Structure 1
């Protein structure tokens, strides 16, 4: 899809997702390093002024291009008709804790439910995106290549953030100590869905996180869409399709990697 235009007035939903994600990423990058007040959200979670401002900017892009669409934002909640046929899922700053302490491992996620999506890295300049069928990476405004998953790096990102809804049956930390994991893979521990885009791009072999139904989550929807379009294997931690009955998320570059991780998790 070379030549995807940047104008979010286009009829192309992927262009809207890209424009929104890039606009949010600009805000996040420009506010980086400032002393930002924390907005307490309870249970140890919080937002910053960068989260709020980035979401406002993204919503401005979506409203200008798709005034009739609904939006579910991480900070602003539901906006627009709850029964709207089209709904955008927005996480303006995934990795707020990283960002607040000066770590540049964050992502900006914009996804049309069951459609186009974009994940922007504010600091590398990369935007990982899909039209719902195929996935690409754009760097500094230029389309570079189709996303091609591969397990060659042997690096597996595991999310260790609480809560742990599947414990004691499954604990992500136990996977890291599994003899088969140690023999085959090397762990990386993250707290941002940028890692999902890295699996699609071949920078990671897999990603594992616990949780409930993540398919409609503002945090995960964009990354899941990009991974599916790139051809990754996407299931819950029980191997079932993600959805209302699903639990957590396992995204792997290929069937072999997915099968190995599932066998370790079950044992």
Structure 2
């Protein structure tokens, strides 16, 4: 029987194939919330992913970005599927997207895969170690702060805007002195932290069971990154958010910069 990690890889690969094949075409859009939409590629990629999962694990619950929840809310095993993270990039013909598949079994993510359809790379974890698969060959992911590049998420919602805004972090002169800012606008950048291509990733928001972030967070944790909430608290507690950093020094520096915003709010 196929293992969970092999299934995550197969499902992400199926979604990535659809995304790659449909790239550049004039695609119908499905309007969602204000300013948000899905394309036909999102929907077809999710169908391909779900087909792979359901064929192998018909009794598992699934949460899909486009199709929503199936299975009981308290399911022991739930697949979290984001078929095209970076839809705006994709619609604008920018090749910065990810196909994310993760399995939550019990209280934690046990396997995950984040595929880049255009580099033919898949970042994956079995829950213990993180790997990059390219041309059928796996290599261990090794975080590194050497790039000094920090990717931030500037998209709403901003539940902690009274004490933290990512745009203010980028505007802080102390941030510019130490780091280089990047805004990739896809959670592929979270996988890049695990791979040593980014020094850190920062976002606000409630990320528990997030189809967007579950895979990247699991990759960072398995690779040995420092992963906490926005104020250094345990992940998915308190204010929520995410600071995923390659090492303790980078993580501490970002927490100090984020803390400066809170201090400024108190003084104001």
1:117 alignment partner, SS class: strand
What is the alpha-carbon distance in structure 2 between the residues aligned to residue 184 and residue 50 of structure 1? 39
Contact 1:155 1:206 in 2 (8 A): yes
**C-alpha deviations, 1:230-266, integer Å up to 9, x for none?**
0011111111112253421110000100000000110
Structure-1 separation of matches of 2:7 and 2:121: 16
Deviation at 1:166, TM superposition (A): 1.3
Does 2:49 match 1:28?
no
Shift of 1:83: 2.9
SS state of the match for residue 183, structure 2? strand
Q: What secondary structure is seen at the aligned counterpart in 1 of 2:161?
A: coil
Q: Tell me the CA shift for residue 181 of structure 1.
A: 1.1
Q: In the TM superposition, what is the alpha-carbon distance from 1:84 to its structure 2 partner?
A: 2.2
CA contact (8 A) 1:135 1:147 kept: yes
What stretches of structure 1 move > 6 A for 4+ residues in a row? none
The range that moved more, 32-41 or 80-89, is 80-89
In 2, the alpha carbon distance for the partners of 1:45 and 1:39 equals: 9
Q: Distance in 1 between matches of 2:202 and 2:74?
A: 32
Task: Report the Cα distance in structure 1 between the residues aligned to 2:143 and 2:228, rounded to whole angstroms.
Answer: 16
Measured after TM superposition, the shift of residue 209 of structure 1 is 0.8
Alignment of 1:158-177 (within 5 A): 158-177=152-171
Provide, for residues 151-173 of structure 1, a one-character-per-residue CA deviation record: whole Å limited to 9, x for no partner: 00011001111222211311101
1:6 corresponds in structure 2 to: none
- Corresponding residue of 2:130: 135
CA distance in 2, matches of 1:92, 1:27: 9
Alignment: residue pair count: 256
Q: Secondary structure at the match of 1:87?
A: strand
1:115 is paired with a residue whose SS is: strand
Equivalent in the alignment of 2:263: none
- The runs of 5 or more residues in structure 2 that have no matched partner are 261-268
Structural mapping, 1:79-98, within 5 Å: 79-98=70-89
CA distance in 1, matches of 2:46, 2:7: 14
| Secondary structure of 2:18's aligned partner | helix
Q: Counterparts of 1:199-238 in structure 2 under 5 Å?
A: 199-212=193-206, 214-238=207-231
TM-score after normalising by structure 1: 0.93
Please tell me whether the aligned partners of residues 129 and 226 of structure 1 are also in contact (alpha carbons under 8 angstroms).
yes
Residue aligned with 2:84, SS: strand
Contact 1:160 1:190 in 2 (8 A): no
**Displacement after TM superposition at 1:81 (Å):** 3.0
